[in-house]
Amino acid sequence: MAKVKITVNGKELEVEAGKNLVDAAEENGFEIPHYCYHPGLSIAGQCRMCYVEQEGNPKLQVACNMKCSDGLKVKTDTPKVTDAVKWSLEFHLINHPIDCPICDQAGECGLQEYYMKHGKYKSEMHEEKELKPKVVDIGDQVVLDKERCILCSRCVRFTQEISKTSELGIFSRGDRSVIGTVNDSPLTGNYQTNVVDICPVGALTSKDFRFEQRVWFLDETQSICSGCSKGCNVDVHHKKGKHIYRLKPRYNEQVNSYWMCDKGRVTYKDSNFDRRLSNAKLGGVDLPHAEAIAAWAADLKVLIATERTEEIGVWITPHQTNEELVSIFETFATQLKTNKFYSESVETLVQKDEAVDGFLLRSDPYPNSRGFLKTSKEKKIKLQSIEDLIKALEKETISHLVIICPEGERQFPHMSRISQMVKPSQFVVILTPQNAAIEMFPSALSLPTLSHYEKAGTMINHAEISQSLEAGFQMFKESRSIQQTMKDLLEAQAKRAESRERMAN
Amino acid sequence: MATLESKSYVIGIFKGLMITGGHFIKNLLGITKRPTIMYPEQKRKYSQKFMGTHVLTKKHNGEIACTSCMLCATACPAECIHIVAAESPNPQVEKYPAIYEIDLLRCVFCGYCEDACPVDAVRMGRDYEMAELAERNFVVGIDFLMNRPSLQGKNISVFHEPKKITKSA
């Protein structure tokens, strides 16, 4: 892109030609207030908040409709501009109920922010506020409050341009204008909650997050959605790492832009405290992590002493990060010398992978299938199918099965099949963040691991883009990352070998 | 150099006992004003500004006035307020607290919650007798904060509903 020179408030800036002035100013530290402008949507010029003074133009101009061209000179801080912004805001607040105490948007609301920065501090309106319907149910994800709406039309443009469902529209005229759907029909599709994210006020709020928590209590951690192979960038909103409340899409031009699907938004529930395994368990009884590792090492010791390490079977899925997979392969293939690795046919998943609804959601349910294939190829691991595992369990060629469990729905079909085939003589170790799989293997040794949104590492998405997850919190003290578990296991193993040598001498 | 007086300690003891005895007699006869009171029977009158156990106000129909905005919990320096918001059963009201708990052992009685409340739903009460046997009894809920016996018939738990702004002539 060609660079052009523009001047904002007397400061000369070099920006890309044709870039939107609001974005260009923001990148260089000049804030231009705006409601209706969203970089992912078309331009409406409806809110009249982004007024700037352009040199050589007697009237104020809206910055959202200005493209950067050479020699453009604007001012954002003249008295004329601040006055116009102040009055625009007053117009927005004429019929706004100002019910911030009960509004979920409070704390991240455009009206609150600009009122404090540019607002008038005393309303000059004598008229009564126009009353409109408040808790309007539109669809299974979104609640609409018609009073709070400032008619910026971001949501209308979203359904027209991005989700292409064209459900929302502005009805009636003047101060009775409202956002709504035709005949009050509900919103449909997999991208409804995006209208909640782009709503600059609290008119559209999420049902899942409704009244759950005030936003100023929430901490943010960057992560990657675990829902499918798209790997949408997300911010995990949690309170002190104890409770995850919601996921919000994070801008990434190459992957998900500003959007995210509704299916992906609920994946945080699998990482939340109520579905988690909090303690290591052996046959349903809690025990400390170190003791659980010792019990595992003791069983491995027997296999090593009798040179039967090829009886170790490992079930893995592409839900793990590349780093976790490397540590698993190194521990079991290099150190313990087994070649029995089982997984579902990831290659078929990758080959058949396609965008299900033509936008973000993809058919491959694992976030790291490409990374899984790449890592196993690098480590020269030959992967066998679920059928092979069932056969091996039947013939009892496996006496020690390690299951690295994925999260959520995708664990169930395979896990229940395996659990039916496991015989009491076979020792089963499950590494899982969730408690769902534990119930299927009542006598197994289970070790709690970090859940998807607590992990650090990299994952490779469907377009071969390697993305990183950031470890921000740990919900349970007893849970360990898979790398740490593998390290602990090898250490316990070495200790046992050492004491055996000492006893032999 | 030891004097006779310091050697025979009896004189010193007698002097000391004279002071003690003097106060004893004065107090017994009520000659001086005593700072102590006969506590459980006799109660001290506290200032109207005294900040004791919290009160949740209620509207004229008996509903809780709190809208569960959690500003009190935000302002609280001791983090002793726990609120769970929910959809109100009354269609006129959108949000209300399903759970509103104050841990009185954690509370430092600073009154910030009262200051932060935008709807005057939580106030600092006048009650100061809060002895309990079990620790869990100090975590008090809506029922105690709104309807405890010491509040019956008192003005402090009455919510002043805001006047509706009408069009000026």
Is the Cα torsion angle B140, B146, B147, B152 positive or negative in sign? positive
pLDDT digits (tens, 9 = 90+) for B132-148: 999 999 999 999 999 99
Q: Are A234 and A247 in contact (CB under 8 A)?
A: yes
Nearest to B167 among A128, A210, A214 (CB): A128
CA separation for the pair B68, B100 (Å, rounded):
8
The pLDDT of residue A276 is above 70: yes
pLDDT at B91: 87
> Which pLDDT band holds residue B31 (cuts at 50, 70, 90)?
confident
CB A106 to CB B165 under 8 A? no
Q: How many residues does chain A have?
A: 505
On whether the CB atoms of residues A77 and A10 are closer than 8 A, the answer is: no
Rg (CA), chain A: 28
Instruction: Please tell me whether the overall predicted TM-score, pTM, comes out greater than 0.80 for this model.
Output: yes
Sheet holding A285-287, edge to edge: A285-287, A280-282, A445-448, A427-432, A400-404, A312-315, A340-342, A383-384
Give contacts of A210 with chain B, Cβ < 8 Å.
87
CA distance A97 to A94: 8
Q: Contacts of residue B87 in chain A, CB cutoff 8 Å?
A: 210-211
Output the DSSP codes for A307-362: T-GGGEEEE--TTS-HHHHHHHHIIIIIIS---EEE---HHHHHHH--BSSSSS-B
- Alpha carbons B31 and B36: distance in angstroms, whole number: 14
Which residues does A297 contact at the CB level (< 8 Å), separation at least 6?
A489, A492, A493, A495, A496
Report pLDDT for B164. 61
Band the pLDDT of A175: cuts 50, 70, 90: confident
User: Considering only CB atoms, which residues of chain A are within 8 Å of chain B?
Assistant: 99-102, 106, 126-128, 134-135, 210-212, 214, 216-217
Terminal-residue alpha carbon distance, chain A = 74
Of B94, B165, B168, the CB nearest to A102: B94
Range in A77-86, A230-239, A341-350, A492-501 with the lowest mean pLDDT: A492-501
Q: What is the pLDDT of residues A296-320, one digit of tens each?
A: 999 888 888 888 888 899 999 999 9
Residue type, A218: L
- For residues A94-100, average pLDDT: 90
Closest CA to B102 of B63, B152, B140: B140
Least confident of A142-146, A147-151, A499-503: A499-503
- C-alpha gyration radius of chain B: 26
The tens digit of pLDDT for each residue in A373-387 reads 999 999 988 899 989
Asked if A102 and B167 come within 8 Å (Cβ–Cβ), the reply is: no
Kindly list the residues from chain B whose CB atom is less than 8 angstroms away from the CB atom of residue A102: 67-69, 94-95
DSSP assignment of A353-391 equals: --BSSSSS-BS---TTHHHHHHHHHHTTPPEE-HHHHHH
pLDDT value, residue A367: 92
At residue A184 the predicted structure's pLDDT band, cuts being 50, 70 and 90, is confident
Nearest CA to A309 among A389, A382, A400, A390? A400
CA distances from A297 to A305, A337, A398, A403, A427 (A): 12, 15, 17, 16, 12
pLDDT of residue A412: 78
Kindly determine whether residue B85 and residue A211, on different chains, have CB atoms separated by under 8 Å. yes
| In A244-318, alpha helices (H) | 262-265, 268-271, 289-305
Report the first-to-last Cα separation within chain B, whole angstroms: 95
* Mean local confidence (pLDDT), A272-284: 90
Sorted by where each starts, the structural domains of chain A and their CATH numbers stand as 3-93 (3.10.20.740), 100-271 (3.30.70.20), 276-504 (3.40.50.740)
A44-69, pLDDT tens digit by residue? Answer: 999 999 999 999 999 999 999 999 99
User: Which chain B residue has the Cα nearest residue A98?
Assistant: B118
Name the band, by pLDDT with cuts 50, 70 and 90, for residue B165. Answer: low
On the question of pLDDT at B44 being above 90, the answer is: no
Tokens 């405890």 correspond to B148
- Burial degree of A356 (CB within 10 A; 0-12, 13-18, 19+): middle
Residue A292 has pLDDT above 70, yes or no: yes
Domain regions of chain B by residue span: 1-36, 54-157
**CA distances, A120 to each of A64, A112, A124 (Å):** 23, 12, 9
Check A102 against B68: CB less than 8 A apart.
yes
pLDDT at position B6 is: 73
Beta partners for residue A355, in sequence order: A362
Residues in Cβ contact with A60 at an 8 Å cutoff, skipping those fewer than 6 apart: A51, A52, A53, A80, A81, A84
Give the lowest-confidence range in A111-125, A154-168, A180-194, A420-434: A111-125
Which among B95, B119, B164 is the top mutation candidate for probing chain A, defined by the most A β-carbons within 10 Å of its own β-carbon?
Answer: B95
Segment B99-112 mean pLDDT: 95
Length of chain B: 169
Assess contact for A39 and A106: CB atoms under 8 A: no
At position B27, the amino acid (one-letter code) is: N
Q: What is the pLDDT of residue A411?
A: 74
Please state whether A380 falls in left (phi above 0), alpha (psi between -120 and 50) or beta: left
For residue A410, what are the CA distances in angstroms to A317, A407, B43?
Answer: 10, 7, 67
Contact across the interface for A135 and B94, Cβ inside 8 Å: yes
Instruction: Give the closest-approach CA distance of B71 to chain A in angstroms.
Output: 8
Residue B168 above 70 pLDDT? Answer: no
> In the structure encoding, which two tokens stand for residue A496, read together?
């046992």
Chain B: residue whose CA lies nearest to A127: B167
Q: Cβ–Cβ contacts within 10 Å for residue A490, how many?
A: 18
Does B124 score more than 70 pLDDT? yes
pLDDT of residue A454: 93
- Residue B34: what pLDDT? 75
CA distances to A96, A142, A164, A188, A361 from A159, rounded to whole Å, are 24, 13, 5, 10, 17
Mean pLDDT, residues A244-262 taken together: 94
pLDDT in tens, A132-146: 998 999 989 999 999
Amino acid at A343: S
pLDDT surpasses 80 at B169: no
Q: In the prediction, which pLDDT does A328 show? A: 94
pLDDT at B167 over 70: no
Which residues 6+ apart lie within 8 Å of A372 measured at CB? A316, A317, A318, A320, A325, A343, A346, A366
Q: Are strands A400-404 and A312-315 parallel, antiparallel or unpaired?
A: parallel
Cα gap A30→A132, rounded to integer Å: 36
Residues of chain B whose C-beta is under 8 A from some C-beta in A? 67-71, 74, 85-87, 94-95, 118-119, 165-168
Considering the domain delimited by B54-157, tell me its CATH architecture: 2-Layer Sandwich (3.30)
Average pLDDT over residues A20-26: 94
Cβ contact, residue pair B94, A100, below 8 Å? no
